[in-house]
Copies of this chain bind each other. A is one copy, B any other.
């Protein structure tokens, strides 16, 4: 990444990055003061993916133990799911499954500009398709909320 660093672009880039790209992006995140985490979650049950992201966020201190913070996180995940699901936020009930990488970033909308407080970005990237190996295509989603 170069030029203006923003929370959404960083979250998406981190989610789609391979191992070497990942290292660079995490270094950039640290340099500009963002908190971040990258993990994996996949299931036919969408609630398990929600749970995996929420658990990671709490364990890594990306959200504090307070409902207003969990509320911001929850709606960021749900928004990102809209990008993955594209119409029906459903997986198993409509016979599809998703294997996703997620990234969570906490910090200002524009790196270094704290005039508008902290925001939270959740990006999802992976594949979605039939429960048959290879029968899938890529999907991406991004949710951003003030926190």
Interface size grouping (class) on chain A: 35 or more
Smallest CB–CB gap between A16 and chain B, Å? 5
> In the complex, which residue of chain B has the Cβ closest to the Cβ of A86?
B82
B116 touches A12 (CB 8 A): no
The chain A residues found within 8 Å of chain B, CB to CB, are 1-3, 6-9, 12-13, 16, 18-21, 45-47, 50-51, 54, 66-68, 70-72, 74-75, 78-79, 81-83, 85-90, 92-96, 109, 116-117, 119, 121, 123, 125, 129-130, 132, 134-146
B70 and A8 form a contact (CB under 8 A)? no
Known: A12-B140, A142-B140. A134 touches B78 (CB 8 A): no
Q: A66-B116, A82-B86, A83-B86 are in contact. List 18 more A-B contacts (CB 8 A).
A: A3-B18, A12-B12, A45-B93, A46-B93, A46-B94, A67-B116, A67-B135, A67-B136, A67-B137, A68-B117, A75-B75, A83-B142, A87-B87, A89-B93, A90-B90, A109-B137, A140-B140, A140-B141
